[in-house]
Structure 1
Amino acid sequence: MATKTKAAKAVDRQAYDVDTEWTKADRRLLAELEAAEALLPDDAPRALLSVRLSVFTDDTTSHVRQELDLRLLAREKGYRVAGVASDLNVSATKVPPWKRKSLGKWLNDRAPEFDHLLFWKLDRFIRNLSDLHVMVQWCERYGKGLVSKSDPIDLSTTVGRIMVTLIGGIAEIEAGNTSTRVASLWEYTKTQSAWLVGKPAYGYRITEGEGGRSVLLVDGNAHKALHWARRMALRGVSARRMALCLVRSGLMSEGLTTTTLLRRLRNPALLGYRTEEHKAGGVRRSRFILGSDGKPIRVAPPVFTQEEFEALQTVLDRRSRKQPTRQPGGATHFLGVIVCADCGGNMRVNKTSNKGRTYSYMRCTGCKAGGHGIPAPDAVYLALARRVLSSLGSYPVQVRQYAEGAEARQEVKRLQEAVSYYMTGLEPGGKFTRTRFAQEQAERTLDTLLSELEAIDPATTQDRWENIHNGQTWQERWDTGGIEAIEEDLRRVGIRCEVTRQKIKGQRAPDVALRVLIPKDVQERLIIREDAFVVEL
């Protein structure tokens, strides 16, 4: 059967271009809206506009149209636009609002800068009921309003909150139906001998056969590389050596690791059958998918015969080392904090078993052959913890909290109205000038009001973030939380520890030196910013 390489087809839905140009009409309307906004009073409510697109089609409302519609809505309600959070090529089903690049920055760090969050339609904003619940709670906690251009949403009323939940449920059902259709398509393709969708296993390429149907053919270069690797494995050549030779020859791409090479050699899909991932006992392997006749479904010509594949697996099994069971949090502490001074690569802890004993050693991920291994990782952890405690342990633990200025603004307004009342009454012919006693009383009251007004810090009238000392020092916090707490905070703050290893003649263990790098603004970075978006299950 004659075949030809299948040309890449344009998909109906494609990633939206962030740099899409605005039309002249759009620019004119934007200028008009900005001019009208400039006429608003200084204390006008501030609005943040949320614009989102996952993919762009002819039926999709563009980000330009969404922004202009939201600006029109803001003008209608008398809101001043504080900013536009534009997140394009982002799925509302997969990424909640607080984790989006643009909107997440506003919600997590710039909440004091706006009063209302405007979006074009609820399914443009959110498509998960639990995410919607979290956003509603966040808005109520921080005194923010949620306003939709296309939906009757108003969090200030009970009916409005019910409508939010109802519309959100419909959006989630729609998203769930789409997910179900995609999952059903994948389940269907697994039972077919034709290759309908998906990326084939290494060793094959997709071609177009008769009738325009996709079929798999063996890739020539991959076939050559895999059979060469099989012959080398039978001769006892290490996987690391094979990977190096394959990259140098150009048969496999740069960045090939021994793990990737071994995974390719162990893939039963090389026999030409359809497979799926299977996890058993912490080991990830592929297994055959059986058809209605109970036999594996053939989708391509084999790269290896059954005898070649089994002989290769026997050799690989014989040479593989049984690794200790992985710890839930991983064997390496301070990952991303402890780095190699020579190459900057992360230092990782490897564990291996030999004759019933387990050995741990710290190695560099970037240096050739891992550099000089450190056989006592716990000593490195202890030395790092001691240095950090001596430098930062006495600092107070501060927690960032949100402070609203509404109460202070009301007090300022009350005082200003009272001052105006007494000043008017003290003018010639005013109500407080009729008797000397009334005038003196009014003047004393006015002085008191003015003193109270001057005593109010203008900053307290604004919504803001405040850093509050929680009564602990970092020494006390880390003594309670242990190494896991120190590890989490050092990684968050950006503290690094460079490890230098010097080989000592006649000794297996190298001489180790540590250099702890602490940012100059470490006190600011240490401030704990609590996560306001916690999904309660």
Structure 2
Amino acid sequence: MGKRTKSRSAAERQTYNVEAEWTEADLALLEELKKAESLLPDDAPRALLSVRLSVLTDDTTSPVRQELDLRIKAREMGCRVVGVASDLNVSATKVPPWKRKQLGDWLNNRAPEFDALLFWKLDRFVRRLSDLSTMIDWCLKYGKNLVSKHDSIDLTTTAGKIMVTIIGGIAEIEAANTSTRVASLWDYAKTQKEWIIGKPTYGYMTDEDENGKLTLVFDPTAYKALHWSRRMALRGVSARRQVKVLKRAELVTQGLTPSTQLRRLKNPGLMGYRVEEDKNGGQRRSKLILGKDGRPIKIAEPIFTEEEYETLQAALTMRAKGQPARQPGGATKFLGVLICKDCETHMTVQNTTNKFGTYKYLRCGACKSGGLGAPNPDEIYNRLVEDVLSAIGDFPVQTREYAQGAEARKEVKRLEESVAYYMKELEPGGRFAKTRFTREQAEETLDKLIAELGAIDPETTQDRWVNVHNGKTFRERWEDGGMEAMAADLVRVGIKCEVSRNKIPKVRAPEVHLRLLVPKDVRERLILKEDDFAARF
């Protein structure tokens, strides 16, 4: 087994593998704690351990130490550990508990499986007071407890609730101070001619000069792609076509989209100026940052001269004038549901313009020229709606709700204690065995108690999810919400519709066939699951 290292380079601190940190002593202690757990009664409280770390440095507590300390704390509380939600390389300031990969799954989907949530220290759990308040509300709603190894936090007491709010406020102040320092650094860096921090404009990359200072230099591959794209734009070639050719030439990543390509070509940073994101208008755009003299701040050699950049923008603007206005709800309805049978890519609405007008067609993404264009998208939408309503429209709308078993467990315990009491007192020498009358009365009461105990469904004594029918069918739900509501449900459930197009001799439009693909567990998938944290996203 390897030993923990005490010094780590900056590169090593970017990622962290917890398995490499366990020593022989740690594993021995872990085994000892698990043996102690096995002696706990079956009804012992269940504990979920939350372990988090942004980056491992010499001053931080490793995930291994956090987990072992929390297991010791669970043993002291008489709790059985049912899971460890380990979220490493995750910032508590940026990512709240319910959005973390492992802890979020427990909170959103596995709440019935634990009774208490243990964490090492409050700043290892949350860094924002609003996040802490959300978690307190969630725990109170679902009957969970929050416990910290190093803070006086216990939601079962009023003092604990007050303490957790005070400590959370302190953690938020510390996070705000850090955020202020980072924001100040960014504000300072924006005004400098030297490159200090941040992600360079596409087309540039960072390098060190002879004095060891960071500078911006051309990225050879991106430089080549940008100049080729400019030449194509001046010829009137669409961004979609540019992207296809660039991907084929392996000058860009396969994830590049036409919108990203246009955003890159419209970035004034290509002239070597410092830019920042323009957050107004709802679209991602870059704008120039002006210096104290009111002029753009030059930070690198230009990829395009000002004349080259202006002619490029004029060409892009000229082509954009011929494009139809963007539809608020998106050009394609049921996007992600309609797929091509041949290439299995999404069907999208594309416009074809000729001297007779503009026509809409449903085309795929991988077949040659988008395959045979399916005209009349609205007709295909209506056919899809009919198929969906026929297949699942009469299914009941059910919502997943959380049912706690605490009251049922309390009632079971009361009945068991009462049964045990009457059985004991009915034995020879007991208080109910003295006379015939008291015996008969006690036996009658005992039979009643046993019947009540037998009538309780064991499932109701457990915390669990239950599905509740709200009285509507999905047909009624979609009549109220329209195609948008239906499309959202189909995407959520994973229902697809294969579109096949067959050429008909001497007929321009192809014959279109639809085949609905419904998962076998569609009833389970259709259940609506309330998102307790939706308002916090």
In the other structure, the counterpart of 2:5 is: none
**Per-residue CA distance 1:257-313 (angstroms, 9 max, x = gap):** 555554444332232222223367666543322111111111122233333333333
Residue 453 (1) aligns with residue 453 (2): yes
SS in 1 for 2:432: helix
Q: Is the 8 A contact 1:274 1:297 kept in 2?
A: yes
Corresponding residue of 1:218 = 218
Structure 1 partner of 2:20: 20
Q: What TM-score does the superposition give when structure 2 sets the normalisation length?
A: 0.90
Q: In the alignment, is the contact (CA less than 8 A) between 2:222 and 2:251 conserved in 1?
A: yes
Which structure 2 residues correspond to residues 178-193 of structure 1 after superposition, within 5 A? 178-193=178-193
Q: How far has the Cα of 1:75 moved from its partner?
A: 0.8
Superposition deviation, residue 484 in structure 1 = 2.0
Does structure 2 retain, via aligned residues, the 8 Å contact 1:272–1:303? yes
Contact kept in structure 1, 2:18 and 2:64, CA below 8 Å: no
Asked if 1:145 is matched to 2:145, the reply is yes
1:116 matches 2:116: yes
Question: Post-superposition shift, 1:223?
Answer: 4.4
Residue 443 of structure 1 is matched in structure 2 by 443
Q: Following the alignment from structure 1 to structure 2, what is the Cα–Cα distance between the partners of residues 258 and 308?
A: 21
Asked if structure 2 preserves the Cα contact closer than 8 Å seen for 1:15 and 1:54, the reply is no
Q: Is this contact kept in 2: 1:131–1:535, CA < 8 A? A: no
Unaligned runs of 5+ in 2: 1-8
Matched, 1:51 2:34: no
Distance 1:536 1:296 in 2: 38
Q: Is the 8 A contact 1:500 1:514 kept in 2?
A: yes
**Number of the residue aligned with 2:296:** 296
After TM superposition, the structure 1 = structure 2 runs for residues 304-453 of structure 1, keeping only pairs within 5 Å, are 304-350=304-350, 359-453=359-453
- In structure 1, the residue corresponding to 2:375 is in which secondary structure? coil
Write the distance in 2 (CA, Å) between the matches of 1:187 and 1:498.
Answer: 51
CA distance in 2, matches of 1:262, 1:481: 34
The Cα offsets for residues 348-382 of structure 1, whole Å up to 9 and x where unpaired, read as 23468889977543222333333233332222221
In 2 relative to 1, CA 375–426 (structure 1 residues): closer, same or farther, beyond 3 Å? same
- Give 1:224 shift: 4.7
**Equivalent residue runs for 1:42-121 within 5 Å:** 42-121=42-121
1:513 corresponds to 2:513: yes
Distance of 1:412 and 1:288 partners within structure 2: 70
Cα offset, 1:176, TM superposition = 2.2
Secondary structure of 2:134's partner? helix
In the aligned structure 1, how far is the partner of 2:292 from the partner of 2:435? 106
Q: What is the distance in 2 between the residues matched to 1:346 and 1:446?
A: 67
SS where residue 211 of structure 2 aligns? helix
Where do 1:152-231 residues align within 5 Å?
152-220=152-220, 222-231=222-231
Distance in 2 (CA, whole Å) between partners of 1:209 and 1:442 is: 95
Decide whether the 8 Å contact of 1:134 with 1:534 is kept in 2.
no
Cα 1:361/1:94, change in 2 over 3 Å: farther
Instruction: Check whether the contact 2:500–2:512 (CA below 8 A) recurs between aligned residues.
Output: yes
Amino acid aligned to 1:194: E
Number of residue pairs aligned between Structure 1 and Structure 2: 529
2:26 matched to 1:35?
no
> SS in structure 1 opposite 2:19?
coil
Q: Secondary structure at the match of 1:20?
A: helix
Q: What is the aligned partner in structure 1 of residue 502 from structure 2?
A: 502
1:110-135 Cα offsets, whole Å, 9 max, x none, are 21221111111111111222222221
Aligned-residue CA RMSD in angstroms? 2.7
Cα gap change, 1:453 to 1:193, in 2 (>3 Å): same
Cα deviation digits, residues 4-63 of structure 1 (max 9, x gap): xxxxx9458422224324101101111111111111112111111111112221112111
Q: Is the partner of 1:397 in helix, strand or coil?
A: strand
Whole-Å separation in 1 of the counterparts to 2:355 and 2:277: 32
Instruction: Give 1:235 deviation, angstroms.
Output: 5.2
User: How has the CA–CA distance of structure 1 residues 182 and 353 changed in structure 2, closer, same or farther, with 3 Å as cutoff?
Assistant: farther
Give how far 1:316 is off.
3.4
The offset of 1:193, in angstroms, is 1.0
Preserved contact between residue 92 and residue 124 of structure 1 (Cα < 8 Å): yes
Q: Is the 8 A contact 1:130 1:535 kept in 2?
A: no
Contact map agreement 1:288 1:296 (CA 8 A) in 2:
yes
SS in structure 2 at match of 1:211? coil
Structure 1 325/439 Cα, relative in aligned 2: closer, same or farther at 3 Å? Answer: same
CA distance in 2 between counterparts of 1:28 and 1:174 reads 37
Change in Cα spacing, 1:144 to 1:222, as seen in structure 2 (3 Å) is closer
Shifted more, 114-123 versus 205-214: the winner is 205-214
SS of equivalent residue, structure 1 residue 202: coil
Distance 1:427 1:338, change over 3 A: same
Highest relative contact order (Cα 8 Å, sep 6+), 1 or 2? 1
CA deviation profile, 1:78-100 (whole Å, cap 9, x unmatched): 11111111111222222221222
Secondary structure at 1:27 match in 2: helix
Cα pair 1:120 1:148 within 8 Å, conserved: yes
Q: Could you tell which deviates more after superposition, 326-335 or 97-106? A: 326-335
